[in-house]
Structure 1
Amino acid sequence: MIIPAFDLIDGRAVRLYQGDYLNKKNYDINLSCCLEEYKSKGIKIIHLVDLDGAKNSENRQIELFEKILSNTTVSIQIGGGIRTTKDISTLLDLGVKRVVIGSSVIHNKNKVKKWLKMYGSESIVLALDIKINNNKKEIYIDGWQKRTNFILEEIIEYFLPSGLKHILCTDISKDGTLLGPNFNLYKEITNSFKSIHFQASGGIATLKDIISLKKTGIKSVIIGRSLLEKKFTIEEAFKCWQSES
């Protein structure tokens, strides 16, 4: 599945390079029009990142999301600083299809297990951001600023008994670079965890990247900058994905 992505600050679409708020690029787009266009082209779900909420939970863009969800029928997946049960309930009550949990996966593992049970595996996506050091997939949190003592595989194993199904896995070194994804990473983890629906994110620059990602066995690919900068069209991306089915 192709999942277009929009990172949002104060209601505007932006891209951060390597997660750096000081290295930001603005895009002049009409988000509501983009969502409807993508839906008309066959897209099933859109990924939105609340960068304001990620930086400060008091600044969550709830009014914006409420407006978006009342004006579109395409499914929405939202991440960015979601830390509490109230955060999740508020978004799901608005009509969000899936809520993406990031740093809380490490900070509050027991709470995340409860969320998986409470809301169901279809409503929760774990965002696991990694850097590969000495062949270890080390997890980073808090806007990629903090290296944890956990590796990707052990965190997946920890949550599997709680019904974990959806994981958004990003190789931080690739994000926002347009240098191509880490194909070996996705091939390895899809082979190791066949019950997980992995979403690949980071580095996608060409249609060939999409075809190669599909061959790794991942279920979805999140595409942000390359669509915003018209490296290819949504129709071309969708066609590539379908042709590899």
Structure 2
Amino acid sequence: MNVIPAIDLLDGRCVRLYQGDYARSQVYSENPVEVAKQWVDQGASRLHLVDLDGAKAGHPVNTKTIEAIVQAVSVPVEVGGGLRDKEGVSQLLSVGVQYAILGTAAVEDHPLVEHLCSEFPDRIIVGIDARNGQVATRGWLETSEITATQLAQQMANLGVSAIIYTDIHRDGTLTGPNRDALRELASHVSIPVIASGGVSSITDLLSLLALEPLGVIGAIVGRALYTGDVSLKEAIQAVGQGRLQDIPPDLGSSSLA
């Protein structure tokens, strides 16, 4: 089980949202680069970045900050938020981002997803963010008619490498991951699934180990790291990274795209 710290960017700062509500954001640092270096120093083998401004704008916004983070750390960085065309994906990959996470595009533009998977093999994953089982898009500001499981199956057929599943009602709440929803989604696809949203303790992370046989092979941790409820070093030690060699290189956490 891979533990992946999340860094959410809003106006160039490191923040956390409560249930995806932009009006309920809390600033944790004015210097996201230092935050990124801190997580790597504590053992993170991958960083998950979300461009919250980009998610609303529909194109990357915090590119300079993202590039600075990429240059400052020695681990792969993945980014979601506003990646809805080839230009946006290419822009981030060109500044050193290893993996691009698609969200809204996965719902609205299947030909684009298929093309990007072909153009950038093993560098495209899809973030599925759900509210009451229905997929949310455009920075969680809109809710589609498709269910998370249906979209996951469609994306698997298009050739994406993995699914990052975020339960919006759990995100930023420290109420624990939605294991039932994760079990439902993972049981319907053959590609790996990453859990995101609600992790409040190392116990929550350990509880996800039971879903590994279904393909849930990683977890994104955000607010709990910033509040101190979870120590990254202790979490990595507790869940272990024994299967890391079996995890495709394009995996990571919560995306607002």
> TM-score, length-normalised on structure 2?
0.86
- Cα deviation for residue 226 of structure 1 reads 0.3
Q: Which region of structure 1 is more displaced relative to structure 2, 219-228 or 15-24?
A: 15-24
Q: Is the 8 A contact 2:42 2:232 kept in 1?
A: yes
* 1:161 partner amino acid: N
Q: Distance in 1 between matches of 2:9 and 2:241?
A: 31
Give the aligned partner of residue 237 of structure 2: 239
| Structure 2 residue matching 1:54: 3-state secondary structure | helix
Alignment of 1:192-211 (within 5 A): 192-193=188-189, 195-211=190-206
Match for residue 123 of structure 1? 123
Residues 71-150 of structure 1: matches in 2 within 5 Å? 71-120=72-121, 122-132=122-132, 137-150=133-146
Shift of 1:131: 2.6
1:13/1:28 contact within 8 Å kept: yes
> Which one-letter code corresponds to 1:130 in the other structure?
A
Change in CA separation of 1:40 and 1:114 when aligned onto 2, cut-off 3 Å: same
Note if contact 2:33-2:68 (Cα within 8 Å) is conserved in structure 1: no
Which one-letter code corresponds to 1:12 in the other structure? R
Letter in 1 for 2:103: G
CA distance in 2, matches of 1:215, 1:98: 27
Match of 1:157 in 2: 153
Higher relative contact order (CA 8 A, sep 6+): 2
Structure 1 residues 47, 59: closer, same or farther in 2, change over 3 A?
closer
Q: Deviations over 1:92-138 (max 9, x none)?
A: 11111111111111111211111112111x21111111133xxxx32
Q: Is the 8 A contact 2:9 2:50 kept in 1?
A: yes
- % same residue: 31
Cα separation, 2, equivalents of 1:58 and 1:40: 30
| Number of residue pairs aligned between Structure 1 and Structure 2 | 239
Task: Assess if the C-alpha contact under 8 Å between 2:79 and 2:100 holds in 1.
Answer: yes
CA spacing shift, 1:14–1:118, aligned 2, 3 Å: same
Deviations 1:67-87 (A, max 9, x none): 221222111010111111011
For 1:173, what is the secondary structure of its paired residue?
A: coil
The DSSP-based 3-state class of the residue aligned with 1:81 is: coil
Q: Which has the larger radius of gyration?
A: 1
CA RMSD after TM alignment: 1.9
1:213 aligns with 2:211: no
Structure-to-structure mapping, 1:48-67, within 5 angstroms: 48-57=49-58, 60-67=61-68
Q: Which runs of 5+ in 1 are unaligned?
A: none
What is the match of residue 185 of structure 1? 181
Offset at residue 64 of structure 1 (A): 1.4
Q: Alpha-carbon deviation of 1:41?
A: 3.2
CA distance 1:57–1:151, change in 2 (3 Å): closer
Deviations 1:211-233 (A, max 9, x none): 00122121110000000111121
Q: Does structure 1 retain, via aligned residues, the 8 Å contact 2:174–2:199?
A: yes
TM value normalised by structure 1: 0.90
Matching residue's letter, 2:202:
L
Runs of 4+ in structure 1 off by over 3 angstroms are: none
Q: 1:234 to 1:44 in 2, by over 3 A?
A: same
* Matched letter for residue 106 of structure 1: V
Q: 1:145 to 1:29 in 2, by over 3 A?
A: closer
